[in-house]
Amino acid sequence: MNAREVDPRLLRGFVATAEELHFTRAAARLYVAQQALSRDIRRLEQTLGARLFVRTTRQVELTSDGERLLPHARRVLRAHDELAAAFGAAGRPLLVDLNSEGPGTARQVLVRARELAPDQELMARFESGLTHSAGEIAAGRLDVSFGRFGGLAPALRARLAHQPVRYEPLAVVLPRDHPLAARAAVPVDALAGQTLYAGAGNPRTLEWTDLARGLFAGRGIALAPPAPVAVGKEEFRRVMAKTGHAVLATVDFPDMPGCVRRPLIHPVPLSPLSMVWRAGFGHPGLDALRTAAAELGGVRGWLDVPDGGWLPDGDAALMRG
């Protein structure tokens, strides 16, 4: 066997390990067993006749041959993905994650994209959280998702492409008998001393919890401890009623029985929403989604930042880029 016969799967394992410098994390990123990844790396080393990693009990480092291989492996995989997209993706349904059911931004983009490309099958999925769905996209099990791109790990962002869609204003979901529920809008400072739920403990929504930590910092607002992950409106309402916590949400969050949703003001906190897909991926349905997002954003001012609007540190540069 020689370099001309290298299986792209082995190169994917190599690139993931080179970027993570940790076999357990690389295996989790690829959704394979660590033992299987180690076997693939050994097979690649045997194929190339070169040692690619120095492994100790405490760390993993690239050898000089590993450093030399990395840019070539990335180019090969990019070409492989582009080839698959050109000849394999266009004829199949596009799997689009909306995070949750309801009339939110992602749903509006999907509805318009279906109007623009009626011959394409755009299938909705509900993966709940960009942290999880981005991993599914990178692994090829999902095509498109929406969420806070800046909340993803840099190594994962490097494998993805994104298009800014909207600065979504944030809101708070309160029980109807909550003292703040009578207000038409809730100043952020009025939440001082309150405990808000923002997905803490849910591994699928790390980017959302990170946004909440940034907003709450220095304002006397506590992040609610982990609660059981609820699926569906009724289960979510039941769990939140049991804990008694208000919920950080967007202004388009679905109505919840027994609760009210109030926009946050002074400042207006914003969640930077992007459409995310695998780098190098192409599909007519993706083109329709991108056109729909740009069209709706232009008409509705989705990318206009209100005066004094609050954004997580570092997200503004990614959205401009």
User: What's the DSSP call for residue 4?
Assistant: G
Residue in this structure with the two tokens 């990693």, named with its chain if needed = 53
Are 286 and 211 within one domain? no
Same domain for 173 and 245, yes or no, is yes
Domain CATH for 25: 1.10.10.10
Question: Rg of the chain over CA atoms, in angstroms?
Answer: 22
The answer to whether residues 194 and 250 belong to one domain is: yes
Domain-terminating residue out of 50, 73, 89: 89
Q: How high is the pLDDT of residue 1?
A: 45
Query: How crowded is residue 166: how many other Cβ atoms within 10 Å of its Cβ?
Result: 28
Identify the domain containing residue 68 by its residue range: 3-89
Residues 270/165, Cβ–Cβ less than 8 Å: no
152 in the same domain as 100: yes
Looking at the structure, do residues 145 and 280 belong to the same domain, yes or no?
A: yes
The answer on 261 and 177 residing in a single domain is: yes
HSE of 266 in the Cβ direction (CA atoms, 13 Å)? 7
Distance between first and last Cα of the chain:
43
Domain count, the chain: 3
Q: Which residues pair with 174 in a beta bridge?
A: 260
Provide the pLDDT for residue 59. Answer: 87
Same domain for 49 and 177: no
Counting every residue written for the chain, the total comes to 321
> Does one domain contain both 302 and 173?
no
11, 76: one domain: yes
CATH number at residue 214: 3.40.190.10
Residue type, 280: G
Look at residue 91 in the predicted model and tell me its pLDDT: 63
Residue type, 53: F
pLDDT tens per residue, the chain (321 residues)?
455 678 888 999 999 899 989 998 888 877 778 898 999 999 999 999 999 999 887 789 999 999 999 999 988 888 877 776 666 555 689 999 998 877 899 999 999 999 999 999 999 998 889 999 999 998 888 999 999 999 999 989 988 999 999 999 999 999 888 999 999 999 999 999 999 999 888 899 999 999 999 999 999 999 998 876 666 666 766 766 677 788 999 998 888 778 899 999 999 999 999 999 999 888 999 999 999 999 999 999 999 998 889 999 889 888 986
Domain match, 139 and 281 both: yes
Cα–Cα distance for residue pair 297/304, rounded to 1 Å: 9
- Res 4: pLDDT: 62
Among residues 74, 89, 104, the one where a domain terminates is 89
pTM of the predicted model as reported, rounded to 2 decimal places: 0.74
Residues 257 and 175 in one domain: yes
Domain boundary among 265, 287, 311: 265
Of 279, 269, 13, 260, the C-alpha closest to 148 is 269
176 and 260 in a single domain? The answer is yes
